[in-house]
Amino acid sequence: MFDNFTKLGYNSCMNSFTQILRQHNLKVTPQRLAIVEVIHNYGHINIDKLYEEIKIKFETISLATIYKNISAMTKNTILYEVKLPNEKSVYETVKDNHSHFLCKKCAEVTDIDINMEKNIKSITQKYDFSIEQTDLVLSGICDKCKDK
C-alpha cells in the first residue's frame, strides 16, 4: 500500500494518505494525517516516540487520542503493529510481506526480505495447518553496532 511513497513528493504522499483513510471510511483529520506521516517517515516507531513527535505540531493532543487512532488504523490495515521481543511494539505503514531484524544494542528495526514460501508450504503439508500470517523478527547486532 505504501511501498512507492518514498518516490513521491510531500503533497503526493499526503494526498495518498488522505485517499487511503477515506477508502477505509476513516475521517481525515490533521492529527490522523500527521500520525500516518510520522510513522511513514520513521519506518518503525513506538507509541512514546510517536507521541513525542506529534506533540510538536499538536500540543494539546493526548496519548489516548494517539492510541485510539493507532487502533483504528491498525484494525483497518493501514498500519501494522510489529511485536518485538523484550521491547515495546513499533508501528509501520502496511507494506508488502516482509520480516524484521531487531538490533539488540541500538533497538533499530529494519525491514528484511525472507522468502518463507517453501517453509510455509512444508509446515502446512506436515501439520495440516492453514497459515494466514507470518510474523518473523530476527534479532542480533546490526552493522552500525558491530564495531562499537
Q: Which residues of 2-16 are buried (b: 16+ CB within 10 A; e: fewer)?
A: beebeeeeeeebeeb
| Residue 97 pLDDT | 85
| pLDDT > 70? residue 30 | yes
CB 22 within 8 A of CB 28: yes
Segment (H or E) for 142: none
What value does the mean pLDDT take over residues 60-76? 96
Domain extents in the chain: 5-93, 99-142
Q: What is the pLDDT of residues 108-143, one digit of tens each?
A: 999 999 888 888 889 999 999 998 888 899 999 999
Residue 12 pLDDT grade (very low, low, confident, very high; cuts 50, 70, 90)? low
| Residue 42 pLDDT | 95
Please tell me what DSSP assigns to residue 43: S
Q: Architecture of domain 5-93 in CATH?
A: Orthogonal Bundle (1.10)
Any idea which fold 99-142 has? Dna Ligase; domain 1 (3.30.1490)
